[in-house]
Amino acid sequence: MSWIANVGEAFAEKWTPDGETVCISISEPGRKVKLPQFVDLIREHFQDYDGEKSHPDSAVLFTPNHAARIARFARKHRDAGRNILVHCAAGVSRSGAVAEALLEAFPEYEDRGWIRHPNGMVKSGMKRALGLIPIGAP
């Protein structure tokens, strides 16, 4: 059975290639995490701010474009039956939000993730991109 897991950056960096797993890498802007070889990899850069919390004007927030790229990547690999590893710095908030949305959209996948405290803005954006929430809905 294929699986989805949210993990921390240190765990992802030590991943042993298995020929069956792709990676959604989420990191701070300007940071490139040193990852092992995955079947495929997408790198997204945004900070862990929720829309309801205050943040500096210079913050790089999660956008619908991030969500669309991640959703497209995940769908492509779901169709191929691949495992999906999602990481961010701690493996809890940004990656947790992406993993929860993917697990809801892909119920055939097993949940192998860590504890989560999902970023609400990331989770709702991902759910919209995956068609779980209508685009115009609040």
Please, which pLDDT band fits residue 51 given cuts at 50, 70 and 90?
Answer: confident
Distance CA 107, CA 48 (A): 26
Q: Mention every residue, 6+ apart, whose C-beta is less than 8 A from residue 127.
A: 101, 104, 105, 133
How does pLDDT run across 100-135, given as a tens digit for each residue?
999 999 999 999 999 999 999 999 999 999 999 876
Confidence class of residue 61 from pLDDT cuts 50, 70 and 90? Answer: very high
pLDDT digits over 76-88, tens only?
A: 999 999 999 999 9
pLDDT at 138: 65
Question: What pLDDT is stored for residue 58 in this prediction?
Answer: 87
Positions of E strands within 1-138: 3-8, 21-27, 41-45, 83-88, 110-111
Average pLDDT over residues 85-106: 98
Tell me the average pLDDT across 26-33: 94
Q: Is the per-residue pLDDT at 96 higher than 70?
A: yes
Quote the percentage of the chain above a pLDDT of 70: 96
β-strand partners of 67: none
Q: What are residue 4's DSSP bridge partners?
A: 84, 111
